[in-house]
Amino acid sequence: MIKQFILLTQFMTRIPVPVKTEYNEKDFGKSIKYFPVLGLLIGGLLYLTYFIVTKFTDSRLLTAVFIVIAETVITGAIHLDGLADTFDGLFSYRPKDKILEIMKDSRIGTNGAIVLIIYFLLKTFLLAEADIKYIIMMPVIARLATVTNAGLGTYARKNGMSNAIMDYNSKSDILISLLITSVICFFLGGFKGIISVFVCLAFIIYFLFYVTKKIDGVTGDTMGASLEMTSILVLITGVILK
């Protein structure tokens, strides 16, 4: 379990872990159910950023900007790439094969650029308005998206880096991850935290089926997009339930 969590941290973040681990597809795949725990670590670092920045300024908007920057640095923008690629592909209104080809293209298109602009604007303003505890809950709940996609979805490509995630996760892993997420969010936000978890879970499942209808499965890009859109929805619920 510890090895899996270290591997997950090294692969999914830029957090320095001074432990050498050999990549193992099975260990990495099985580690995904602990993704919300990694989200808690990220949330803790974002809270630390909030604590430091607020020592120098009372501006909630400026504080939110630094939190967004910190999150981008911590994650290495790994999921933002998937968000842009997914919107470029899905909203090209092309056949499945062409959508997958567009997603694989390293260049960003108009739809990808637009969604990133909207994403950063929304996240910044929502962070400035949401309750402080949602800064921690946001990365926790968002990472439930990856586990849900892996446990319920099928892979849209014949092969790819996300095969390990898909092959070694099932519905039982979703339940483990959901339990972890619910416990963390109840501890942080009480019943409001639980409401946020299940509102986001409903969206995650809806988006999963929407993508599956478009391309007969999910990809690493669509899982990244689901994670990032869920993070926005967490903040929206945080503002509404404030």
Q: What is the pTM of this model?
A: 0.94
**pLDDT of amino acid 22:** 79
What does the pLDDT look like over 138-196, one tens digit per residue?
999 999 999 999 999 998 877 766 777 888 888 999 999 999 999 999 999 999 999 99
pLDDT score recorded for residue 161: 63
Ranges of the chain with pLDDT below 70: 160-161
Query: What is the per-residue pLDDT for 160?
Result: 65
- What confidence score (pLDDT) does residue 168 get? 86
Domain ranges for the chain? 2-240
Token output for 140: 């926790």
